[in-house]
With several copies, the nearest count.
Chain A
Amino acid sequence: MARVLLFGRLSDIAGWREKTLDPSPTRLSDLRAQLAAEDAALGEALAAPGVQVALDQVLVRGDATLSTRSEVAFLPPMSGG
């Protein structure tokens, strides 16, 4: 049951902030494909430049292997202060 977290405008686009995927995809690329299949607009937004991915709270680039306990967060451009 991988957990997916969306932040900023991504959760507005999706209409949700957090969901669990059961069964868990085994790779980040599979997880992206599954989310895009469910919601094409979200799939496009997740693939947009500037959207980073944190796997278990560590930034990752490219693909990655997921476990059933993985937390995958999609992070649009950040703006604090």
Chain B
Amino acid sequence: MISLTEQGFDPGPLLSGFCCGRAETGAVASFTGLARGEGGATKVLELEAYPGFTEAQIGAIAEAAKARFELHDLMIVHRIGKIAPGEPIVFVATAAAHRRAAFEACDYLMDYLKSRAPFWKKEHGPDGARWIEPRDEDHADIARWA
């Protein structure tokens, strides 16, 4: 399940639903990305997507993860629009028989979402707004899967 939402979401019910009724899945890994306040400065993130294209590109990332890891299932929920510090931006969950595949697929999905999924992120702070691009670590992270 892949979805974009302009509404705030709580990762807990998503994890509960994802874990429920899995008698053969031994391992569920998840990642929740939260908007950081960065030292108390009032900041608001604004995430832009390209409707249709963004979902399709995330779908392709999800298919690549399914082909690469032995997954039973995965879920990706991504927030768009304005996001306050502390609010969830992204939730990814992966289900597999054993924990290594679940962890690695979750890690892989996040690396690709960070620098290959069509989102553009603007940070509104006390000194104005700036566009955020992938960090050096993000490029290094994704290079691990080459």
Report A's interface with B, CB cutoff 8 A: 5, 7-9, 12, 54, 57, 73, 75-81
- Which chain A residue has the least Cβ–Cβ distance from B92? A81
Interface size on B, residues (CB 8 A): 27
Q: Given known contacts A77-B115, A77-B133, what 13 new A-B pairs fall within 8 Å (CB)?
A: A7-B48, A73-B50, A76-B131, A77-B134, A78-B120, A79-B134, A79-B138, A80-B78, A80-B90, A80-B121, A81-B89, A81-B113, A81-B117
- Which chain A residue has the least Cβ–Cβ distance from B130? A9
B121 touches A79 (CB 8 A): yes
Report the minimal beta-carbon distance from A76 to chain B, rounded to whole angstroms: 7
A5 touches B50 (CB 8 A): yes
Question: How distant is the Cα of A80 from the Cα of B118 in the complex, in angstroms?
Answer: 7
Report the minimal beta-carbon distance from A74 to chain B, rounded to whole angstroms: 10
**Contact A75-B131, Cβ < 8 Å, known A57-B53, A81-B90:** no
A78 touches B110 (CB 8 A): no
A75 touches B117 (CB 8 A): no
A73 contacts which chain B residues (CB < 8 A)?
50, 53
A9 contacts which chain B residues (CB < 8 A)?
120, 131
A54 touches B53 (CB 8 A): yes
B90 contacts which chain A residues (CB < 8 A)?
80-81
